[in-house]
């Protein structure tokens, strides 16, 4: 009987402590709560999405990535990604594909022979920067596919944020 009361007392204490910590989190206010911001995209012309684009590390801040978009007839584009050299003295990231400009952004099939292809997407965000990601396919997280084109580490991907490269 004594143990039953002790167990009941412990359960009540744990319940009270968990309620108090939830209240403390609620009282923290909005300045303490982190919110994940959505990336705001905007429609871009094919001219805005054409040219050379680089990540923040280009050209001399460590491992960098770069891609170019070249216009072709009928809203088609040639997209080529490259990067700094890897351990084998070759670019660590490489991808080339033919895609299509449509509705303000570019889609390039990563696995064109698939009945449910994954597409590399090139979109402009409201700041004027370019965001490279992926959509579609059978993978629950399509952007994981973009890591397959980088042979330096599993954490490296051709996806991410890029800026237009000024004419040199």
Confirm if 83 and 89 have CB atoms less than 8 A apart: no
pTM: 0.75
Using the predicted structure, report yes or no on whether residue 157 has a pLDDT greater than 60. Answer: yes
Question: Which range among 36-50, 66-80, 135-149 shows the weakest confidence by mean pLDDT?
Answer: 36-50
Residue 147's SS3 state is helix
Could you tell me the residue ranges of all domains in the chain? Answer: 41-164
Alpha-carbon span 148 to 165, nearest angstrom? 25
Domain 41-164 has CATH 2.30.30: no
In terms of residues, how long is the chain? 168
Which residues does 44 contact at the CB level (< 8 Å), separation at least 6? 104, 105, 123, 124
Confirm if 80 and 68 have CB atoms less than 8 A apart: yes
């Amino acid at each position: 009987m004594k143990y039953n009361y002790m167990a009941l007392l412990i359960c009540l204490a744990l319940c009270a402590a968990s309620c108090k910590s939830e209240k403390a989190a609620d009282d923290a206010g909005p300045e303490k709560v982190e919110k994940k911001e959505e990336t705001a995209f905007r429609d871009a012309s094919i001219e805005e999405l054409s040219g050379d684009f680089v990540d923040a590390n280009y050209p001399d801040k460590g491992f960098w990535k770069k891609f170019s978009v070249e216009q072709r007839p009928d809203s088609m584009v040639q997209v080529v990604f490259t990067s700094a050299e890897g351990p084998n003295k070759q670019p660590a990231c490489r991808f080339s594909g033919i895609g299509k400009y449509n509705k303000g952004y570019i889609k390039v099939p990563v696995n064109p022979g698939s009945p449910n292809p994954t597409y590399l997407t090139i979109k402009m965000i409201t700041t004027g920067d370019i965001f490279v990601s992926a959509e579609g396919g059978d993978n629950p997280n399509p952007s994981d596919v973009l890591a397959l084109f980088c042979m330096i580490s599993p954490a490296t991907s051709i996806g991410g944020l890029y800026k237009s490269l000024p004419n040199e």
